[in-house]
Amino acid sequence: MGPCSSQQRKPATAGQALMPGTQQGNVDGFKVGPDIFVTLKQGSISNFYKIEKSLGSGAFGDVRLVIHKSSGCKRAMKQIRKDKIIKEDEENMFSEVNTLKELDHPNIVTLHELFQDAKNYYLVTEYLEGGELFQKITDMKHFTEKMAADIMKQILGGVVHCHQKKVVHRDLKPENILFENKKPNSNLKIIDFGTSRKMENNQNLTKRLGTPYYIAPEVLKRNYNEKCDVWSCGVILYIMLCGYPPFGGQDQEILQNIEIGKYEFDPEDWSKISEDAKNLIKKMLTKDYQQRISAQEAYNDPWIQKNAPNGQIDMKAIKNLSSFFGKNKVRAALMQFITTNLMTNTEKEGLLNEFKKIDKDGNGQISKEELLQVYMKQYDEIKAKQMVDDIFEKVDINKSGFVDFTEFMMSAASEEKLLSKIKLQQAFNMFDTNGDGQISREELQEIMGGVDDNLWKEILQMCDANGDGQISQQEFIDFLVKKYQQ
């Protein structure tokens, strides 16, 4: 029996918008992406996670550290009590889940699972143990403009990705920016998309949401777009550089000062800060949002680009891109599962840094042009174009025209490490939800949406060596390791 010998989870009937479609009838039509692994599941979450310490609490429930029983992975679990939320809040929660499913960026939190039982919903995300933004800065012995630029570059990169996906966060603040670990150069991630919304048909938003100090003046007037996030980033940058907010006061006074939109750079506190930094803040805190710079323009600002570290790209670190085998979509999907769920942040660290160096505009996607610039430093233009075209053919699994973040991490990682015996066993145990040593069609569909009867038959043709209609651990491992060409 596997380590999770409890009752099998069943896909829920509620929240059907979270369930990937199952209209695909073959491997070629199978949709591949990290989002296919996030479906609404029913059952006791304690059957699959060991509940540890509390990480905080909110109006609707607690956030706790949990440990996945099959893999040992630490994760954060947000518990939302059903008796504490109204219908609109429930819709907001599903909206948050659907938003996070669409986002794939190194500076945005990863959503792993969504459960429900009779009393609660449970959102399971990656565990970020490095602490909140300002706490991290407070703990530093010294803090420089270069450090501030590196932090703001990461935040803006995540915001650029959101805005390209038509997602407005609406509550960017230091408490919603966490570091992965306690290392000085730790990667950071934006969290809490509970108030986020998609911009539909470029229609402005009207709901007054946000946190005093960080809320934009146009939000107070209930007529705004995605640039409200840029304003919030400007406030965060201002505080990082001087230690207090640009718009102070008590309660309602804060909002009145924001509506006026006037602030200053007190010479006593700002004399040692560069004019470039001040100029960027001015452009981000422009009261008229139509005149305010975009997140992409802020990311490209000279102060960000000249201060934040770039560095030379290590070609050895990305050599696996050209040898990745991504023809079989099911195999690629399983490898994405391992990349997202079982690779540790330490294992990802080196590749993450290389990804950021290649992704010049910070949007979380590598274009052909960006990758071509890398290879043209090593080869002539004709050879470089051939290599880039070949890489995109194999690595751009979802045919978006870009190499997405997860696609890069999966294909650039060493297969020896990604498909190690331990990770393969952990992955199999996570799919084998009833612990009987076999993966059934229902179990695969439960974890990886989009597996209809026709696709299951094709998967069995590739994996089911003994013809018993299920996939054993050895068959699962053989399928991933032997690189089937079908």
- CA–CA gap between residue 76 and residue 65 (Å, rounded): 5
Mean pLDDT in residue range 339-359: 92
| 95: pLDDT strictly greater than 70 | yes
CA 250 vs CA 170, 243, 247, 257, 365: distances in Å? 22, 17, 10, 10, 42
Of 230-244, 309-323, 469-483, the poorest mean pLDDT is in 309-323
DSSP H or E segment with residue 161 = helix 145-164
- CA–CA gap between residue 439 and residue 421 (Å, rounded): 18
Q: Which of 35, 171, 301, 396 is catalytic?
A: 171
DSSP H or E segment with residue 371 = helix 368-375
pLDDT at 448: 81
Tens digits of per-residue pLDDT, 367-391?
999 999 999 999 999 999 999 999 9
Angle at alpha carbon of residue 410, lines to 404 and 412, rounded to 5°: 95
DSSP 465: T
Tokens at residue 412, please? 């650039």
Per the CB < 8 A criterion, the answer to whether 215 and 255 are in contact is yes
- CA–CA gap between residue 166 and residue 99 (Å, rounded): 10
- CA–CA gap between residue 376 and residue 227 (Å, rounded): 36
pLDDT at 9: 46
| 163: pLDDT strictly greater than 70 | yes
Q: Find, among 262, 329, 289, the residue nearest to 479 by Cα.
A: 329
| 214: pLDDT strictly greater than 60 | yes
| 315: pLDDT strictly greater than 90 | no
| 257: pLDDT strictly greater than 60 | yes
pLDDT at 298: 98
More confident residue, 12 or 447: 447
Positive or negative CA dihedral for 114, 362, 132, 65?
A: positive
Per the CB < 8 A criterion, the answer to whether 159 and 188 are in contact is no
Tokens at residue 397, please? 């699994």
pLDDT at 7: 41
For 181, list phi and psi in degrees, rounded to 5.
-145, -175
Per the CB < 8 A criterion, the answer to whether 246 and 263 are in contact is yes
Respond yes or no: is residue 192 known to be catalytic: no
DSSP 205: B
**3 state SS of 124:** strand
Q: Does the annotation place 78 within a ligand binding site? A: yes
Within 8 A by CB and 6+ apart from 377, the residues are 313
Mean pLDDT in residue range 117-139: 91
Percent of the chain having pLDDT more than 90?
Answer: 61
| 336: pLDDT strictly greater than 80 | yes
- CA–CA gap between residue 356 and residue 348 (Å, rounded): 12
Tokens at residue 368, please? 């052909």
| 275: pLDDT strictly greater than 70 | yes
| Strand pairing category for 438-439 and 197-198 | unpaired
pLDDT at 89: 75
Over the range 317-326, which residues count as b (16 or more CB within 10 Å of their CB) and which as e?
A: ebebbeebeb
CA 172 vs CA 148, 168, 241, 423, 438: distances in Å? 16, 10, 17, 35, 44
Per the CB < 8 A criterion, the answer to whether 160 and 361 are in contact is yes
| 90: pLDDT strictly greater than 90 | no
Tens digits of per-residue pLDDT, 35-49?
777 877 877 899 899
Positive or negative CA dihedral for 22, 28, 29, 32?
A: positive
Helices (H), 202-344: 217-220, 227-242, 252-260, 267-270, 275-284, 295-299, 302-307, 329-341
User: Which residues are registered as beta bridge partners of 67?
Assistant: 50, 74
